[in-house]
Structure 1
């Protein structure tokens, strides 16, 4: 009984089937000749949306341009906005060395070659040639060779001019002598990283030197105080072996043109044609066939040293076969 009633009710109910519309061909979507539309829009619709986005992006570009112009008015192309303690660099300059190992071994600090093989040490002398090129032709890159001034202690450069770097004073660490690499007595060049506006606080008083300063540098400052006290405005430099064995193997070390960076190169003010002063460190007789760990330091009262972070110092290794 119930089954018949159920079947009767089911037959009396309307039955609808929703038919899926036929897909529109892609070619007709691109251009529908019946409706006169392109990609579903007629000419009027395309004109409206085109005008809208033209105005929208035009206003957006104008807003960005105005913001950029206002921002650039607050900057000087030559003077950084944040300096010294306010900057990310800080006030403690680092020390760098050249030549650096090839780019395929960029993480290494080992200078290794055979002194009897020209092709072996050529990679190092070529790297020095490239690094020192601006010093051999001052002003050629910046185009401001006319503002180079022959500085000296007590003869600082006029404003807008920069001090010359005399490459002849580096002898025997010069290109014509292969920087002495062919004699298994290489020259390494040191430079102090540039910090805008930084002024060194010199060690002028031989009686007020740090206790950890190498003895040979202490003797040099004492001698300078007697023979040439006007040159005490110098950021001193020392290079020595890191460990007792390295101290024995490093051999005699000489510095050219002097044992430090003269004070008349500072402060650095990003003047056109400025070249950082360099110190050529000549390792005269390093023991061959063994790795020598070398640590070089820059010395001024406002240069702190931290071996772990390499602050105020630089580390490299020498190995000459």
Structure 2
């Protein structure tokens, strides 16, 4: 049996453990009195309110330096990348099965909605071959030149709602990424090549696959709200010999100072995609 001294020791240990949480003799909770807890909580409340105030003040001062229409800092690359629509670098379909190319056709149709005549008639009929420079204008909202999808001809989806996919002669749309203030020197156009022994015939729309200067410069999303990027459509005139083969197609922006040979960025001024059409 436990001795009286052992029982007293155990009782003292239990009492000591409970007192570390709440001591009824001193009124301490977790080693602090109520006034001590009140002071430390007050300190942290004031401290974090001060930090929040400093953060809010810093953000307010920073926002005062920003312009809603023109970015203060432009640290992006000075030359545009090239993008493709439909948004896929692997285009594979059976031309006899509409379900297989429906996704591509739907994507192109949805993308071209902003290029419908009803939308583009709101924009300006600009002078071809000239930059549409609006720097001197006092209006912050800039006018945009119209680009009607009809200029894409056989790849507009107007005369052929399958964009050539039904016939095994698919269309792809190419556009340059937007860069504020960009004015290409020269006459930029798209040139595509297929990596195979026998070349593949292609058609470009608009004529010669050119990006007209009147769509430059771009003034930013808010200032140029109705702006749409100029497009170049490439129609691949594939033959039976090209079917059931994976073709690698590379398209580049040529004829200007826009870079297309940076090995660190495979999409700067160029893009490579694969296409395979089966019967």
> Shorter-chain TM-score category?
0.7 to 0.9
Kindly report the root-mean-square deviation, in angstroms, between the aligned alpha carbons of the 2 structures. 3.0
Please tell me whether residue 268 in structure 1 is matched to residue 268 in structure 2. no
Q: For residues 276-291 of structure 1, what are the structure 2 equivalents within 5 Å?
A: 276-286=229-239, 287-291=242-246
Distance 1:99 1:25, change over 3 A: farther
Deviation at 1:155, TM superposition (A): 8.5
Partner of 2:127: 152
Larger Rg: 1
Q: Deviations over 1:82-138 (max 9, x none)?
A: 34xxx241x22221111123xxxxxxx221110110111012112223433433498
Q: Which of the numbers 237, 253, 256 marks the counterpart of 2:205? A: 256
More helix by share: 1
Distance 1:128 1:57, change over 3 A: same
Q: Which of the numbers 187, 190, 198 marks the counterpart of 2:182? A: 198
TM-score relative to the length of structure 2: 0.78
Please tell me whether residue 173 in structure 1 is matched to residue 173 in structure 2. no
Q: Structure 1: where are the runs of 5+ without partners?
A: 1-18, 102-108, 140-144, 203-233
- Counterparts of 1:27 and 1:119 in 2: how far apart (Å)? 74
Q: For residues 206-225 of structure 1, what are the structure 2 equivalents within 5 Å?
A: none
Distance 1:146 1:285, change over 3 A: closer
Q: Secondary structure, in 3 states, of the residue corresponding to 1:182?
A: coil
Number of equivalent positions: 252
Q: Structure 2: where are the runs of 5+ without partners?
A: 1-8
Q: For residues 1-321 of structure 1, what are the structure 2 equivalents within 5 Å?
A: 22-23=13-14, 32-83=23-74, 87-89=75-77, 91-101=78-88, 109-136=89-116, 148-153=123-128, 154=130, 156=132, 160-175=142-157, 177-202=161-186, 234-243=187-196, 245=197, 248-250=198-200, 252-258=201-207, 259-270=209-220, 271-286=224-239, 287-306=242-261, 308=263, 309-310=265-266, 311-321=268-278
